[in-house]
Amino acid sequence: MRSEGNLKAFCSVVFDDVFIIHSVKVIQGKEKLFVAMPSREIKNGEFRDTAHPINNQFRVKMEEIILTKYRSVVGEEESVISTDLTTEDLTFRA
């Protein structure tokens, strides 16, 4: 969890206990929170996702689960300093 700027949290997402994606970000946009997938900078200065959902239906489902978990942690842990929060992986079951 972070409290500075638009970046609110990092998380890892585990799929069926066999695949993990690290560095998924929760970001405060102008109107709402959203989830950003891990990315890297390419030669021309643009950023490309290194992993991402292929279809919008799954993207929406994953974002809802991540943001629900983020909100539950923030609600329960508001008084805890961000460095004291434990990392917790989310598991998706198909």
Domain ranges of the chain: 7-78
Tokens of 33: 């929170």
Half-sphere exposure of 60 (CA within 13 A, CB side): 3
Q: What's the pLDDT score for residue 87?
A: 52
**Measuring CA to CA, how many Å separate 43 from each of 3, 39, 47, 48, 89?**
31, 13, 9, 11, 32
Percent of the chain with pLDDT over 90: 65
Q: What's the pLDDT score for residue 74?
A: 86
- Is the model's pLDDT at 22 over the cut of 90? yes
Give the count of beta carbons closer than 10 Å to the beta carbon of residue 3. Answer: 10
Put simply, whether the predicted model's pTM sits higher than 0.85 gets the answer no
Q: What's the pLDDT score for residue 90?
A: 55
Tokens of 42: 């390419």
CATH class as words, domain 7-78: alpha beta
